[in-house]
Amino acid sequence: MKETRDSVRDIWGQRTPYLGEWPQRVDEVTVEEPEHWVQSCCVLCSNGCAKDIGVRDGKIVGVRGRAVDRVNKGRLGPKGLHGWNANNSPDRLTRPLIRHNGKLEETSWDEAMDALVRHSKELIDRTKGLGIGIYSTGQLFLEEYYTLAVVGKAGIGTPHMDGNTRLCTATAGQALMETFGSDGQPGSYTDLDTTEAVFNIGHNMAEQQTVLWTRILDRRAGPNPPRIVDIDPRKTFSAKEADIDLVPREGTNLAVMNGILNLIIQAGHIDTDYINKHTVGFEQLKATVSKWTPERVEQVADIAQDRLRQAAEILGNARSLVSTVLQGVYQSNQATATACQVNNMHLIRGLIGKPGSGVYQMNGQPTAQNTRETGCDGAMPGFRNWHNIEHIKDLARLWNVEVDEIPHWSPPTHAMQIFRYAETGSIKLLWIIATNPAVSLPDLDRIRKLLRNEKLFVVVQDAFMTETTELADLVLPAALWGEKTGCFTNVDRTCHVSHKAIDPPGEAKSDLDIFLDYARRMEFKDKDGAPLIKWNDPEGAFEAWKECSKGRPCDYSGMSYAKLSSGSGIQWPCNEEHPDGAEHIYTDGVFNTDPGYCETWGHDLETGAAVAEGVYRASDPQGRAWLKAGDYQPPHEEPDEDYPLWLTTGRTVYHFHTRTKTARSKELNEAAPDAWVEIHPKDAEKYGISDGDMVEVASRRGRAYAPAKVGEIIKQGHIFMPFHYGYWDHPGRLRAANELTMTIWDPVSKQPSFKYSAVRIRKSEPGEVPEAMGEAPRARHELMP
Partner 1 sequence: MHIADHVGQLVQSEKSLAAALESVAAAHKDEPDVRELCKLFAKWSRAHVEALKPVQERYGEEVVEQLSARFVGPRKGAYGLLQDLADLIALAQQTRLKWMLLNLAGMGLRDKEIEEACATLGGETGRQLNWLETRIEDGATQTLVAAN
- Of 297-305, 366-374, 424-432, 481-489, the window that binds partner 1 (rule: CB under 8 A) is 424-432
Q: Which residue's CB is nearer to partner 1, number 131 or number 138?
A: 131
Which run of H or E residues covers position 460?
strand 457-462
Nearer to partner 1, 130 or 627 (CB): 130
> What residue spans of 30-108 are helical by DSSP H?
78-82
Q: In sequence order, what are the beta bridge partners of 703?
A: 698
Q: Select 428 or 493, whichever has its Cβ closest to partner 1.
A: 428
Residue of 426, 565, 566, 690 that binds partner 1 (CB under 8 A): 426
Computed on alpha carbons and rounded to an integer, the radius of gyration of the chain in Å comes to 25
With a CB cutoff of 8 Å and minimum separation 6, the contacts of 480 are: 86, 87, 463, 504, 661
Tell me if 290 contacts partner 1 by CB under 8 A: no
Tell me how far, at minimum, the Cβ of 150 lies from partner 1, in Å: 21
Site for partner 1 in 384-413 (CB under 8 A): 409-411, 413
Sign of the alpha-carbon dihedral angle for 582, 587, 591, 597: negative
**421 interacts with partner 1 by CB under 8 A:** yes
Binds partner 1 (CB under 8 A): choice among 77, 83, 159, 281: 159
Site for partner 1 in 636-675 (CB under 8 A): 636
Looking at the DSSP bridge assignments, the partners of residue 461 are 433, 476
Quick one: DSSP state of residue 186?
Answer: S
Nearest to 203 by CA among 324, 301, 306: 324
φ/ψ of 54, rounded to 5, equals -85, 130
Contact 113, 518 (CB under 8 A): yes
Residue 131 CB, nearest distance to partner 1 (Å)? 5
Whole-number minimum distance, CB 128 to partner 1, in Å? 7
CA distance 559 to 537: 17
- Give the ranges where 400-498 is alpha helix by DSSP (H): 415-424, 437-440, 444-452
Exactly one of 221, 609, 779, 784 binds partner 1 (CB under 8 A); which one?
609
Indicate whether 135 belongs to the interface with partner 1 (CB under 8 A): no
Residue number with CB closer to partner 1 (58 or 409): 409
In this structure, is the dihedral angle defined by the CA atoms of residues 127, 130, 135 and 141, taken in order, positive or negative?
A: positive
Q: Looking at 309-317, 419-427, 695-703, 757-765, which segment touches partner 1 (CB under 8 A)?
A: 419-427
C-alpha distance from residue 552 to each of 19, 384, 487, 572, 606 (Å): 37, 8, 19, 11, 29
- Report if residue 130 touches partner 1, rule: CB under 8 A: yes
- Hey, which residues between 222 and 241 contact partner 1 (CB under 8 A)? none
Residue 743 C-beta: closest distance to partner 1, Å = 5
Among 48, 131, 553, 569, binds partner 1 (CB under 8 A): 131
When binding is defined by CB under 8 A, the residue of 610, 713, 776, 783 that contacts partner 1 is: 610
Give the residue with the Cβ less far from partner 1, 287 or 784: 287
Length of the chain: 785
Of 698, 707, 745, 704, residue with least CA distance to 726 = 704
Shortest Å distance, C-beta 178 to partner 1:
15
Which x/- pattern, by CB under 8 A, does the window 735-774 give for partner 1? -------xxxx-x---------------------------
Q: Does 168 bind partner 1 (CB under 8 A)?
A: no
Give the pairing of strands 28-30 and 59-65. Answer: antiparallel
Cis-peptide, bond into residue 731, ω within 30° of zero: no
Residue with Cβ nearer partner 1 (77 or 159): 159
Q: Is 424 in the site for partner 1 (CB under 8 A)?
A: yes
**Least distance from partner 1 to the Cβ atom of residue 260, Å:** 25
DSSP state of 454: T
Hey, which residues between 439 and 498 contact partner 1 (CB under 8 A)? none
Q: Residue 406 and residue 408: Cα distance in Å, rounded?
A: 6
Minimum distance between the CB of residue 448 and partner 1, rounded to whole angstroms?
A: 16
DSSP 305: H
Neighbouring residues of 467: CB distance < 8 A, sequence distance ≥ 6: 436, 438, 439, 658, 726, 727, 728, 773, 777
| Mask for 178-217, x = binds partner 1 (CB under 8 A) | ----------------------------------------
Q: Please, which residue, 546 or 750, has the CB nearer to partner 1? A: 750
Chain centroid to CA 232: 19
CB of 608 to partner 1, least distance (A): 7
Sort strands 244-246 and 227-231 into parallel, antiparallel or unpaired: parallel
Among the listed residues 128, 269, 296, 534, the single contact to partner 1 using CB under 8 A:
128
Q: Is 356 a residue that touches partner 1 (CB under 8 A)? A: no
Interface map 589-608 toward partner 1 (x if CB under 8 A): ---------------x-xxx
For partner 1 (CB under 8 A), the number of binding residues is: 32
Number of other CB atoms surrounding residue 59 within 10 Å: 15
Find residue 778's DSSP bridge partners: none
What residues line the site for partner 1 (CB under 8 A)? 127-128, 130-131, 159, 409-411, 413, 416-417, 420-421, 424-427, 604, 606-612, 633, 636, 742-745, 747
